């Protein structure tokens, strides 16, 4: 009978048990820790970007609704009547496209109107429940053409924040002010 060969260990494992040394484990944990801290540092940036995107989308939707309501009106002197159950004081106002006029309209987080004030969005806004403030301006004399009015909508958010902490989106369009 032939003698059986026994398995021999590689030279680097002679007299040692297999496994990792403490130094190797500490090094691996350090690398994992550095990688995880880099990944976790991206989370606030991603959340801020998502919130900015949500605000920009809502600003576009609000301005499109305002412009659609203005376009749908048959009377340019009462082109936009802002009233409804969303207003805590039952406010109501109209917006005339034939005269230079400016109003501030407040909207909640869902894009529903909350009320109106006079002034400018560059002033401090202390209205409760306002997330978006829209400065709507009619400028009939700035077009150079009769029966045409330029309408600007500056949507700022968050409305109650300090001016330096707000983001403002600007939109404008032209409207024919002739009555049908």
- Where residue 144 falls (left for φ over 0; alpha for ψ -120 to 50; beta otherwise) is left
| Residue stretches of the chain with pLDDT short of 50 | 84-85
**What is residue 33's predicted lDDT score, i.e. its pLDDT?**
94
Is residue 10 included in any domain, yes or no? Answer: no
Please, which contacts does 92-101 make with residues 24 or more away whose CB atoms are closer than 8 Å?
95/70, 95/136, 95/138, 96/138, 97/70, 97/138, 97/140, 97/149, 97/151, 97/175, 97/177, 98/138, 98/140, 98/149, 98/177, 99/138, 99/140, 100/137, 100/138, 100/139, 100/140, 100/141, 101/137, 101/138
Is residue 5 included in any domain, yes or no? Answer: no
Count: domains in the chain:
1
- The contacts of residue 116 (CB under 8 Å, 6+ apart) are 82, 91, 93, 103, 104, 105, 106
Is residue 28 included in any domain, yes or no? Answer: no
**What is residue 44's predicted lDDT score, i.e. its pLDDT?**
92
**β partners of residue 178:** none
**What is residue 85's predicted lDDT score, i.e. its pLDDT?**
47
Is residue 132 included in any domain, yes or no? Answer: yes
Is residue 3 included in any domain, yes or no? Answer: no
**What is residue 74's predicted lDDT score, i.e. its pLDDT?**
73
Is residue 20 included in any domain, yes or no? Answer: no
Domain interval for residue 50: 33-176
Is residue 13 included in any domain, yes or no? Answer: no
**What is residue 9's predicted lDDT score, i.e. its pLDDT?**
60
Is residue 12 included in any domain, yes or no? Answer: no
Tell me, rounded to whole angstroms, the distance of Cα 153 from its chain centroid: 16
Reported as a single tens digit per residue, the pLDDT across 126-171 is: 888 888 999 988 888 777 778 788 889 999 988 888 888 888 999 9
């Amino acid at each position: 009978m032939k003698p059986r060969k026994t398995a021999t260990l590689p030279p680097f494992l002679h007299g040692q048990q297999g496994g990792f040394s403490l130094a190797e484990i500490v090094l691996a944990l350090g690398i994992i820790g550095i990688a995880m801290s880099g990944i976790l540092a991206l989370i606030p940036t991603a959340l801020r970007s998502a919130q900015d995107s949500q605000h920009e989308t809502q600003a576009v939707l609000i301005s499109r609704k305002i412009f659609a309501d203005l376009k749908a009106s048959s009377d340019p002197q009462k082109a936009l009547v802002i009233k409804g159950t969303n207003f805590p004081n039952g406010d109501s106002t109209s917006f005339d496209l034939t005269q230079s006029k400016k109003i501030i309209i407040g909207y909640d987080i869902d894009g529903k109107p909350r009320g109106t004030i006079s002034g400018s969005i560059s002033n401090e806004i202390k209205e409760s429940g306002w997330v978006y403030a829209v400065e709507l301006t009619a400028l009939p004399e700035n077009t150079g053409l009769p029966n045409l009015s330029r309408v600007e909508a500056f949507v700022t958010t968050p409305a109650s924040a300090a001016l330096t902490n707000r983001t403002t989106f600007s939109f404008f369009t032209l409207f024919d002010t002739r009555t049908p």
